[in-house]
Chains A and B, each alone.
Chain A
């Protein structure tokens, strides 16, 4: 149980285009999902917290107009990188909280974004 999927696993796009990444909790409902970005040989950096039915909470320094997050259902959150540029190239990872009380956080496999 507690499987989180991401789609696509890898995407290459041209500079200026928008890219949508989906994060799904396959066998549980997730009221809260998190989006991270990870550069090579660095740790995961939290970008935003996504709560079902409400606006996402962005970490300081993360542009909310550039990284649009939608959490329309209890099993799906999407991250849209708008007007992507080469510096947005990174590994994007989502996670979902299984149990709001004791909790364990499960991660998706990640999406490798390359902007040409």
Chain B
């Protein structure tokens, strides 16, 4: 089971780009990398998922280096509403993967 490590907290300002890195040194061949966003008293919301290189959607980009031992979630031009906890999950969803959450990164966006 790939263990993930993220910074506990980050601060940013409106309009800036925010990059949150997740380390997963023992990622397995079949593992995917998935990021979720959670606001207080709400269920986590899927942001993006990737396997290698770069994935981009309307919300964020996910950069994965060739060795896949880490990944970086990039949020362009954050706003106050991006203040939330961000979780990185790594696992083989097609197998018997049991999704477990680490501590996540608490992002605070300042005016």
CB within 8 Å of B: which residues of A? 2, 4, 6, 34, 36, 43-46, 49, 91, 93-95, 97, 99-110, 112
Q: List 29 A-B contacts (CB under 8 A).
A: A4-B43, A6-B43, A34-B99, A43-B87, A43-B101, A43-B102, A43-B104, A44-B101, A46-B98, A46-B100, A91-B41, A93-B44, A95-B44, A95-B99, A100-B93, A101-B94, A102-B93, A103-B32, A103-B93, A103-B94, A103-B97, A104-B46, A105-B34, A105-B93, A107-B36, A107-B44, A109-B42, A110-B42, A112-B41
11 extra interface residue pairs, beta carbon distance < 8 Å, beyond A44-B87, A46-B100, A102-B94: A4-B43, A6-B43, A44-B44, A46-B98, A49-B98, A91-B41, A102-B93, A104-B49, A104-B93, A107-B36, A110-B41
By a CB distance below 8 angstroms, the chain B residues around A107 are 36, 43-46
Q: Tell me the number of A-to-B contacts counted with CB atoms below 8 Å.
A: 60
- The answer to whether B77 has its CB under 8 Å from any CB of chain A is no
**Would A109 and B94 count as touching, CB distance under 8 A?**
no
Q: Would you give the shortest CB distance from A99 to chain B, in whole angstroms?
A: 8
**Would B93 and A93 count as touching, CB distance under 8 A?**
no
- Give the secondary structure class of A's interface: strand
By a CB distance below 8 angstroms, the chain B residues around A4 are 43
By a CB distance below 8 angstroms, the chain B residues around A106 are 46
By a CB distance below 8 angstroms, the chain B residues around A100 are 93-94
Q: In whole angstroms, what is the CA distance A95 to B49 when docked?
A: 16
By a CB distance below 8 angstroms, the chain B residues around A43 are 87, 101-104
By a CB distance below 8 angstroms, the chain B residues around A97 are 93
Q: Would you give the shortest CB distance from A97 to chain B, in whole angstroms?
A: 7
Q: In whole angstroms, what is the CA distance A92 to B94 when docked?
A: 25
**3 nearest interchain CB pairs?**
A103-B93, A107-B43, A44-B101
**Would A110 and B43 count as touching, CB distance under 8 A?**
yes
